[in-house]
Chains A and B, each alone.
Chain A
Amino acid sequence: MTGRADGGLAASGPLAGGVAEAEYTNGELQTIVAARSLAGKRSCFIGVGRPSTAALLARMVHNPKLVLVYESGTIGAKPYHVPLSIGDGELAETADLVVSVPEMFNYWIGPGQVQVAFLGAAQIDPQANLNSTVIGEYEHPRTRLPGAGGAPEIATGCEEVVVIAPHSKRTFVQELDFRTTRGDRTTLVITDLGVLRPVDGELTLTTLHPGVSVEQVRENTGWDLKAVASVAVSPAPTSEELAALRELVSR
């Protein structure tokens, strides 16, 4: 993940019931909103970084039975620490089962045994297609990105795809430099400014984080972003969510 979403943007929001306002960053809120999206879900495929933090937070606060699946082959991992890599030893030690890479993709991901996937990307277009391959021309890239990894088959195998990305014009582009991963199954895009959902096949602003304006989101989007008629506002983090998140990342 980039550092931008954590960068300084201190925000504050009113808590339910007139409790004193709590200070939090938009990056923290992004993680908390992502964690909330896993309430009631059966299983979630996750990569490292913010998605992993969000999924662990979901298990702490919303959904203790959520099955975490990492592409290293660890199914039902219950790590205490946010892992640095998808292969950290703690994932295998705490998993319900550990499978080989061919089994992971052929038996579990491809056939849709995993319900939700959290993905990130360097670029996302209005149809939620993702680029994690190159910036610039393929043969002579300006920036060579890591490549596809598991994303293409995860995005077509899992029922629902949630994209977690920093909101900027560099990331939200009209046209991808390379289409690595299809966006057909994307149901949510959670950024540090708000939440987009597909409406008639195009990502549309449906929710703003507290203190963010529609204009601000549009200024940070590389296409003419539509917004639904009545844009909702993300509930500010509860004290329970914030405390759990901070305790988690301090481990």
Chain B
Amino acid sequence: MAQLVSLSEAIAETVHDGDSVALEGFTHLIPFAAGHEVLRQGRRDLELIRMTPDILYDQMIGVGAARRLVFSYGGNPGVGSLHRFRDAIEHGWPRPIEVEEHSHAGMANRYVAGASRLPFMVMRGYTGTDLAAHTNVRPITCPFSGEELMAVPALNPDVAIVHAQEADRDGNVQLWGIPGVQKEALLAASRTVVTVERTVERIEQRPGGVVIPGWVIDFVAESPGGSLPSYAAGITQRDNNFYREWDVISRDREQFQAWMEAHVLGGVTA
């Protein structure tokens, strides 16, 4: 049964140096506040997992918290490059980072395998591209038809962290709008944290709402606005201007560090 705790307690209980951590959110409900708390607690050597590492992972990579990145698309959507991500891969700053990359379909199926507690999923893909030779996939023959398919290995992160609109007092959670891959990430992980915009007396299921029962969640923490500058449909708005501003802030190493110090780390030595 989920415990309702503070954000700092939830992170302290679940995320340790060296862990594999998936902070999921496909362009919506990105758990910024939780990611920032991970950084304030000084976690290092993380294996960061996410389909779409955007600004949050750019920040986490830029302060040197990640030793490895597993992903399928590393860009600032609609704006351009992630400069800290690029600097880490192209120049090893502030530390070299190992990457394992997939297609979106590959990553999504890796989470599905993880949530299903199966060793792999089968899909059509990777064949005829250079991705296959640079990542962890293996060809497999269909035992029924003989068709050559691709197997992608299960993704079972140590920790999954997602953001949702609401939770009740038993830690049952509901999210709505673009659901991404959050349910799969939670069910695939060993330890789980959900941050929420608000706590309600009772969850009333909405059309298109995804309800996740509190008994598969370890910790729920209230974090109003916790996905900004991303958004929580129906509650907060995506700050498109910040996504554009980030392009400028993140281009320069010193400017990036000053911004992180002022807005995220707040004097904590990370």
Contacts and interface: CB of A to CB of B under 8 A. Distances in A.
Interface of A: 48-49, 71-74, 83-89, 91-93, 98-102, 104-106, 109-110, 133, 138, 141-144, 146-153, 156, 178-182, 184
A172 B52 CA distance: 27
A250 B102 CA distance: 36
Given A101-B51, A148-B73, A84 B112 contact: no
B256 interface: no
A106 B121 CA distance: 11
Contact of B26 (A87, A89, A143): A87
B26 A149 contact: no
Given A72-B27, A89-B231, A98-B179, 19 more contacts: A48-B78, A71-B104, A72-B26, A85-B77, A87-B26, A92-B177, A98-B208, A100-B180, A100-B181, A102-B112, A106-B112, A147-B73, A148-B72, A148-B104, A151-B103, A153-B105, A179-B130, A180-B131, A184-B128
B95 interface: no
Interface stretch (B34-42, B156-164, B193-201, B235-243): B235-243
Interface in B75-89: 75, 77-79, 81-82, 85-86, 89
B152 to A, nearest CB: 11
Contact of B105 (A73, A109, A141): A109
Nearest to B104: A150
Nearest to A179: B130
Tell me the dominant secondary structure on chain B's binding face. Answer: loop
B134 interface: yes
A147 B86 CA distance: 11
B103 A153 contact: yes
Contact of B90 (A71, A73, A109, A142): A142
Determine the interface band of chain B, counting residues with CB < 8 A from chain A. 35 or more
B108 interface: yes
A142 B155 CA distance: 30
Given A86-B77, A87-B77, A147-B71, A152 B105 contact: yes
Contacts of B52: 149
B101 A147 contact: yes
Interface in B158-191: 177-181, 183-184
B43 interface: no
Contacts of B104: 71, 101, 105, 148-150, 153
A141 B73 CA distance: 16
Interface string B207-251: 010100000000000000000001101000110100100000000
Contacts of A99: 179
B90 A144 contact: yes
A101 B52 CA distance: 12
Contacts of A149: 52, 72-73, 75, 103-104
B32 interface: no
A93 B208 CA distance: 11
A188 B250 CA distance: 36
Contact of A180 (B124, B129, B243): B129
The 10 closest A-B pairs by CB, nearest first: A87-B27, A146-B75, A149-B73, A85-B77, A105-B105, A84-B78, A153-B105, A150-B104, A148-B103, A102-B108
B73 A152 contact: no
B108 A89 contact: no
Contacts of A101: 26, 51, 104, 108, 179-181
A143 B75 CA distance: 13
Given A92-B233, A106-B108, A138-B134, A181 B125 contact: no
A130 to B, nearest CB: 9
Interface string B61-78: 000000000011111011
A92 B128 contact: no
A98 B177 contact: yes
29 contacts: A72-B178, A74-B178, A85-B238, A88-B27, A92-B177, A93-B233, A98-B178, A98-B179, A100-B180, A100-B210, A101-B180, A105-B104, A105-B109, A106-B108, A106-B112, A109-B105, A144-B89, A146-B75, A147-B73, A148-B73, A148-B102, A152-B105, A152-B129, A153-B105, A156-B124, A180-B131, A181-B129, A182-B128, A182-B129
A103 to B, nearest CB: 9
A144 B129 CA distance: 17
Nearest to B73: A149
Nearest to B28: A87
